[in-house]
Chain A
Amino acid sequence: MIKSLPAGSDFLFIICLKKLLLLKPMEEPLSQQYSETEKHRIFHTEFMPHINSMHNFAYRLTLDADDASDLVQDTYLKAYRFIDSFQQGTNAKAWLFRILKNSFINDYRKKSKEPSKVDYQEVETYYNSDDVNRQITPDLRVEALQDMIGDEISNALNSLDVDFRTVIILCDLEGFKYDEMAKILDIPIGTVRSRLHRARNLLKEKLTDYARKMGYKNT
């Protein structure tokens, strides 16, 4: 690090780096200066415990075990590098997930050929329309789900557009709240809500297809 520079320029330098890496801190806090011992303590006691969730998230984003490991490693190294912008007592898991998501967009999404444009205009329109209340509930039964003992649900999830996949993972697997998801994804809470709604319906459609293939008749 650039220990010899005065505190002011050190701070500016960090701001510039953050902009370069699209790593805005969650609450734009004033960076603090942790001692080396504190850094290590925070890293090991607050960051490392989330590594399994982080890896699972990375795998569901990249759909490749090696890419997932690379992404997780990059994320943890970045987290350590920018540890001064992490405020103790705030949600470390959400902070880490946000860095991982940004790294994925910057470094991995470009590489993959996956088209990831979701028509959000359509999503909002859909959500705000009257269809919401008389929604066509897919003819999917709980018994059919109980028979899905293989990879059906995993394949169904993976087949969703990455933006839809992401909100399902954040909400249903990781238990993040609307405001946390909004910060992780840099989108308004209303968009989180409508994206989740649409994602759940798309997932149900996929599962309904599987159920039909398994021989479950409608109703």
Chain B
Amino acid sequence: MPKLPDSSKTFNCREMLQKILDGDATPEQQQQFKVHMEECMPCYKGYELEMAIKALLQKKCNGHGAPPDLIEKIKNKISHITPH
């Protein structure tokens, strides 16, 4: 595992990639990873692939919003629970 020049901690590629993907990395860690990716091919490829999957998920698996009649139905039921 390569060491980061400005850090005494060993840089665990897979762990850091997962932190980034899971949205758990700090801005500082994101920056570190960006620098690291430039010299680590597995990280670069892994990141590209995972981000492409994430983008595809967001594009293709987000389309089941609430039908308008359901929204009306819920609003109606709520307004009848307690008389205004």
Q: A-side interface residues toward B, CB under 8 Å?
A: 36, 39-40, 43-44, 48, 51-52, 54-56, 59-60, 65, 68-69, 72-73, 76-77, 80, 132-133, 135, 137, 140-142, 145-146, 148, 151, 153-154, 157, 168-169, 171-173, 175, 177-178, 193, 196-197, 200, 203-204, 207
Contacts and interface: CB of A to CB of B under 8 A. Distances in A.
Contacts of A169: 61
Q: Could you tell me the dominant secondary structure of chain A's interface residues?
A: helix
Interface string B55-66: 011101111111
Given A172-B57, A173-B58, A55 B66 contact: yes
Contacts of B65: 51-52, 55-56
Interface of B: 1, 12-15, 18, 21-24, 42, 45-46, 48-50, 52-54, 56-58, 60-67, 70-71, 73-75, 77-79, 81-82, 84
A133 B42 CA distance: 11
A36 B84 CA distance: 8
Contacts of A141: 49
Contacts of B1: 133
Contacts of B63: 56
A173 B63 CA distance: 11
